[in-house]
Structure 1
Amino acid sequence: MTKEECFYLGKIVGKFSFKGEVLIKLDTDEPETYTEMESVFIEYNENLVPFFITRSSLHKSTLLRVKFEDIETEDDAEDLIGAEIYLPLTLLPELPEDKFYFHEIINFEVIDKEHGNIGKIVSINDSTSQALFEIENNGKQILIPMNDQFIEKLDKKNKKLYVITPEGLIDLYLN
């Protein structure tokens, strides 16, 4: 299993008990969805390694308390702190037609109401306070805030995202 075939679920942030339990900070709005997992992939020495779960429960509503098979001591658990957790993309819950996961819309064409086809989405920049669509247009990069007010329509079948951008935004990049 490679990272490209998986989605980031969270990070091991601490130990919980002297019996090897760990706390995972989940990167999700619905942590309860992930309390019944049988296994996860943990990034360990730059590889994704499968770890099997013997039990898990929510801890203080945002953390998942997990006991992994073969992690029996505090030292075993300590070794996992900071490791990132992944699951296969096939386990992502299905979204309504008008919603999307970031990885789903890479290579979608972006059609602006005023400018027409302005390029393809090459990535999503979510390192800023406002996530941005990064769009490639003949060697130029166009950045559009990922804002519901700007998204007119999502056409997953035809891989198109229709947007209505504020006046002058696209011109900043094309002129």
Structure 2
Amino acid sequence: MTKTDRVCVGAIAGAFGVKGEVRLKSFCTEPTDIASYGPLSTEKGDRSFRVTLTRPVAGGLGARLSDVTTKEEADALRGVGLYVDRARLPSLGDDEFYHADLIGLEVRDTGGALLGRVHAVHNHGAGDILEIAGAVGREGLLLPFTRAVVPTVDLAAGRIVADPPEGLD
């Protein structure tokens, strides 16, 4: 599996105020790091923005984006993901992964049975959860992304070995 060249580090949650400021949702371990990676671009790469953080706000960070000066322009960007070139991100330690690297990996249980593929990675405050899109004949599955439940992540082989808790498999 090849790594993506760009990684989504945040998203625009909508306008904040009436002067073109936006509310950012940062996906970075340290939320304010989103402004330190240089210009961020849209998924297609057709627009890029310099980010200046202004203050913490409910559900994220207040920010000014270059070339966004009105509330209407900020509103039009709601839901837009913000991407950075992988080369500008810090190196990760052992057993640390960018979500983009996990999405699409095949997931098998410890006995070798196919559970599906990682469809998404969620975090609602209590740790990462892998959303597994089911294999044929299986429903989707949500797995806590912990060493106990996911003992093996092999990016080079494009697979994850999971040991779902009793009742989840």
Query: Normalising to structure 2: TM-score of the pair?
Result: 0.66
Change in CA separation of 1:30 and 1:58 when aligned onto 2, cut-off 3 Å:
farther
Q: How does 1:13-32 map to 2 (within 5 A)?
A: 13-15=14-16, 18=19, 20-32=20-32
Please give the secondary structure, in 2, of the residue aligned with 1:116: coil
Question: Deviation of residue 157 (structure 1)?
Answer: 2.0
Change in CA separation of 1:28 and 1:88 when aligned onto 2, cut-off 3 Å:
closer
Residue 119 (structure 2) pairs with residue 123 (structure 1): yes
Distance of 1:25 and 1:140 partners within structure 2: 33
The structure that is strand-richer by fraction is 1
Partner of 1:78: 72
Contact 1:136 1:142 in 2 (8 A): yes
Distance of 1:34 and 1:162 partners within structure 2: 31
Structure 1: segments with no counterpart, 5+ residues: 171-175
Distance of 1:151 and 1:158 partners within structure 2: 15
Q: How does 1:55-70 map to 2 (within 5 A)?
A: 56-60=52-56, 62-68=60-66, 70=67
Change in CA separation of 1:13 and 1:132 when aligned onto 2, cut-off 3 Å:
same
Question: Deviation of residue 107 (structure 1)?
Answer: 3.8
Distance of 1:111 and 1:42 partners within structure 2: 33
Contact 2:7 2:100 in 1 (8 A): no
Partner of 2:164: 165
Change in CA separation of 1:22 and 1:161 when aligned onto 2, cut-off 3 Å:
closer
User: Deviations for 1:29-58, whole angstroms, at most 9, x for unmatched residues?
Assistant: 312212234422358xxx7542342x6135
1:99 corresponds to which of 88, 92, 96: 96
Partner of 1:173: none
Change in CA separation of 1:7 and 1:120 when aligned onto 2, cut-off 3 Å:
same
Structure 2: segments with no counterpart, 5+ residues: none
User: Deviations for 1:118-139, whole angstroms, at most 9, x for unmatched residues?
Assistant: 2441512639898343144345
Identity %: 20
Larger radius of gyration: 1
Please provide the CA RMSD for this pair: 3.6
Alignment length (residue pairs): 157
Question: Deviation of residue 165 (structure 1)?
Answer: 2.1
Contact 1:122 1:134 in 2 (8 A): yes
Query: Normalising to structure 1: TM-score of the pair?
Result: 0.64
Distance of 2:13 and 2:165 partners within structure 1: 41
Partner of 2:36: 36
Change in CA separation of 1:56 and 1:144 when aligned onto 2, cut-off 3 Å:
closer
Please give the secondary structure, in 2, of the residue aligned with 1:121: strand
Question: Deviation of residue 144 (structure 1)?
Answer: 4.2
Distance of 2:97 and 2:38 partners within structure 1: 26
